């Protein structure tokens, strides 16, 4: 048994990993990508892991890097379902995490501002802004990359992934019943149906995760009509509107 978390960015990747670790899987410390991977085991400390400092990237095609994750371990990724056949042939069970894409967008912007990852330079003006102005500046600076990773990762369905959980359910934002169901879904994935959901909740939600951006994101504090329009006016970038992508995930 080994698990690959194929998540939408900022949708609980590391929280899901914490649940898997609590269920007995070992963290490989690897984040698999299409032509390279990030080896967090090389980081000197937690802050270096957050900022990806110190040469953590290793060039290697996915066809080879999948073999680095041993049985009994899990790894993370933002891969899309086009790679599902390769991943399953490599022995992975696939756990997909998702989240309201407006919250994802805002959390992404806050995370880049906080860590400097994905930033083209430390002097980008938007990093000094607040609220909707900050998010708009982020999208104007890095919109192509945001679009690409969102369109790739929203495409997972139950036909491709072995388990799907939402960040809202996993974090408890949708209530205890749905949080319990999310914990049970992950436990069943790794043949641990005997696990106590409340014990998992207590163990996994008491600390900040690696990519926590300071506080739980609520897009309403940052969103604006201009941001919504930013997505709608870019048909060359988005084959579907943000609203359409969100609907495909079960959000309004």
Exposure letters 66-90 (e unless 16+ CB within 10 A, then b): bebbeeebbbbbbbbbebbeebeeb
CATH number for 2-248 (one of 3.40.50.450, 3.40.50.300, 2.70.70.10, 3.40.30.10): it is: 3.40.50.300
Give the model's pLDDT for residue 248.
Answer: 85
Give the model's pLDDT for residue 122.
Answer: 61
Task: List 92's β-bridge partners, or say none.
Answer: 2
pTM of the model: 0.90
Q: Residue-wise pLDDT tens for the chain (252 aa)? A: 999 999 999 999 999 999 999 999 999 999 999 999 999 998 888 777 777 666 889 999 999 999 999 999 999 999 999 999 999 999 999 999 999 999 999 998 988 888 877 655 567 888 889 999 999 999 988 888 888 888 899 999 999 999 999 999 999 999 999 999 999 999 999 999 999 999 999 998 866 655 544 456 678 889 988 888 787 766 555 566 777 888 888 887
Matching residue, tokens 């641990």: 192
Give the model's pLDDT for residue 243.
Answer: 79
Close Cβ partners of 7 (under 8 Å, ≥ 6 residues apart): 13, 16, 76, 77, 78, 96, 97, 98, 153
Residue ranges of domains in the chain:
2-248
């Amino acid at each position: 048994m080994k698990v690959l978390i194929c998540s939408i960015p900022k949708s609980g990747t590391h929280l899901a990993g914490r649940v898997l670790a609590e269920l007995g899987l070992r963290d490989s410390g690897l984040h698999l990508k299409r032509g390279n991977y990030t080896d967090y085991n090389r980081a000197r400390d937690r802050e270096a892991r957050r900022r990806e400092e110190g040469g953590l990237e290793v060039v290697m095609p996915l066809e080879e890097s999948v073999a680095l994750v041993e049985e009994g371990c899990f790894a993370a990724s933002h891969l899309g379902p086009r790679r599902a056949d390769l991943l399953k042939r490599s022995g992975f069970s696939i756990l997909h995490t998702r989240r309201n894409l407006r919250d994802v967008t805002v959390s992404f912007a806050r995370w880049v501002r906080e860590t400097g990852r994905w930033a083209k330079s430390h002097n980008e003006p938007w990093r000094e802004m607040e609220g909707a102005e900050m998010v708009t500046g982020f999208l104007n600076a890095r919109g192509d990359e945001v679009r690409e990773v969102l369109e790739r990762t929203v495409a997972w369905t139950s036909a491709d992934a072995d388990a799907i959980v939402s960040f809202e359910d996993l974090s408890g934002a949708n209530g205890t019943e749905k949080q319990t169901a999310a914990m049970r879904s992950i436990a069943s994935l790794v043949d641990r149906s005997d696990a106590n959901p409340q014990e998992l909740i207590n163990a996994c939600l008491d600390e900040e995760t690696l990519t926590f951006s300071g506080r739980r994101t609520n897009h309403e504090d940052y969103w604006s009509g201009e941001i919504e329009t930013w997505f709608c006016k870019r048909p060359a970038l988005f084959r579907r509107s943000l609203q359409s992508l969100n609907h495909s995930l079960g959000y309004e």
